[in-house]
Amino acid sequence: MRFFIAIASLLFCNSLHAAQRPNIIIILTDDMGFSDLGCFGGEIETPNLDALAAGGLRFTEFYNTARCWPTRATLLSGRYSNNLRGSQVTVAEVLRPAGYQTGMVGKWHLGMNPKKDGPIQRGFDDFYGTMTGAGSFWDPYTLARNTEFTEPEGKDYYYTDKIGAEAVRQIEKFSGSKKPFFQYVAFTAAHWPMHAPEESIQKYLKIYRGGWEKLRQDRYARMLEMGIIDRERWPLPEREQRVQDWESIDHKEWRIRNMAIYAAMIDHMDQAVGRITAALKRTKQLENTLIIYCHDNGACPEHLGGNGWNTANNILAKAKKEGKKVAVGDRYDVPMGGPLTYGSVGHNWASAQNTPMRRYKMNVHNGGACTPAIAHWPAGLKSKPGSITLQRGHVVDMMATCIELAGAKYPAQFNGSAIDPHESISLVPIIKGGSNDRNHAYIFNHSGTHAIVKGDYKIVREGKGPWALYDIAKNRTETNNLADKQPGQVTKLAAIWEDRWGRGAKK
């Protein structure tokens, strides 16, 4: 009899532990700047993310890899990666054996065949989204449901809104079970092409009439007033060399509209987040759900041409069949935003979107690799709601964070293959009101740009140029290069980079 009582007690304790484990939702947005959100000083209407920030914790030092697919591979695997290898496991593959339901909505960008290298093969129970890195918001390229390609439904289809609806569907489905769930929501907003409903575009047209230089100054002043930054540690860098003078530039109305479209895209993303949080409230899941919001990289300076790097193939083919043409790239004679357009916001506006950081996407200066993050968890967050932490984090840390919260075990082997160790540290101590080891090194290597962040210092180099050194405790915007004054610090940090990414290092 005592044996059965003991077993029953053990089962009850395990069940209780499972019930206490939080749901985890990671929300990742695409090609957004440091100051786009209202809660980080932006003028774009983002009331739902602002509410999460007001009830949660804001990071102003949260890193990524500075590019779309490496950030996704790194986030999901817990290793600095450019793709998902067989020697890596995803967060979903680790949490599912620990009793978590798993779902993904949005941009995958880690394989093109949903039957062979999509989310369903990498630990997710339910998937709706796109396989490739970009595409029309009206008619998404490589759209798939689970393992099959599919087509948009309905005449009012808009991809960002659909991502929100599908995330809600998953939440409602998962809430019918006593098991906790892990959900990965990867928006394509505000990645090109610039597409948004016309009514939403019209809301923002008047805001950007002053141009990108005024926008940058306005955002900087607002961030100072809100206490997000200070002048001493966050001096506003000089204008990027590529940025043109607003007063003398042509086609102003066309350019103003592009930024208005960009704002409308973020507005719709925020509305989708609102539907997600409303679903969590409706299903009584919000209290014990950790939501982590972050970006895949900084603002995007890219300009398009041709077939948009193979992302517009479907709409180009359909338009040709119907005897129509798609306006791709900087077509000043065609207002962007509709289904037969395929343009980008470009480098001029991107400089303002990244206020007050230097550089852009594809570069591991802070304008490319350091973006805001929000953590919201009513049942578990110990920091004062609405506060800003001086602690740092990185998308690579999602693995260790999820493992700790789920009580999961990272495997040495998976599906018969040896698994590389993860390189992440848990953010749970920060979420619980404590701190992490500031001397933990974060390592960056993308497209010829390299960096190390460790302690108070960061080294950065572009191409074959020399390492620059910044004291990011005192100079977050990387305006004061200390390399000549502290060569020993450069040598010490460069050795870490070479050990991880140099010749002979295991990738």
Domain residue extents for the chain: 23-302+346-436, 439-507
- Fold (topology level) of 23-302+346-436: Alkaline Phosphatase, subunit A (3.40.720)
Q: Indicate the class that CATH gives domain 439-507.
A: alpha beta
Query: Residue 502 has what pLDDT?
Result: 82
| Model confidence at 7: pLDDT above 90 | no
Mean pLDDT across the chain: 95
| Model confidence at 331: pLDDT above 70 | yes
The edge-to-edge listing of strands for the beta sheet with 457-462 is 442-446, 449-454, 457-462, 468-471
Percent over 70 (pLDDT), the chain: 95
For residues 468 and 475, give the distance between their C-alpha atoms in angstroms, rounded to a whole number: 13
Using left for φ > 0, alpha for ψ between -120 and 50, and beta otherwise, residue 362 falls in left
Query: Residue 352 has what pLDDT?
Result: 98
Residue bearing the bigger pLDDT, 117 or 447: 117
Number of other residues whose CB lies within 10 A of the CB of residue 232: 8
3-state secondary structure 373-439: EEEECCCCCCCCCCEEECCCEEHHHHHHHHHHHHCCCCCCEECCEECCCCCCCCCHHHHCCCCCCCC
Confidence of residue 2 (pLDDT cuts 50, 70, 90): very low
- Assign 220 to helix, strand or coil: helix
- Does this model's pTM top 0.85? yes
Query: Residue 506 has what pLDDT?
Result: 61
Query: Residue 498 has what pLDDT?
Result: 94
As a whole number, mean pLDDT of residues 419-433 equals: 97
Q: DSSP class of residue 132?
A: S
| Model confidence at 243: pLDDT above 70 | yes
Query: Residue 505 has what pLDDT?
Result: 64
Confidence of residue 9 (pLDDT cuts 50, 70, 90): very low
Confidence of residue 136 (pLDDT cuts 50, 70, 90): very high
Confidence of residue 18 (pLDDT cuts 50, 70, 90): very low
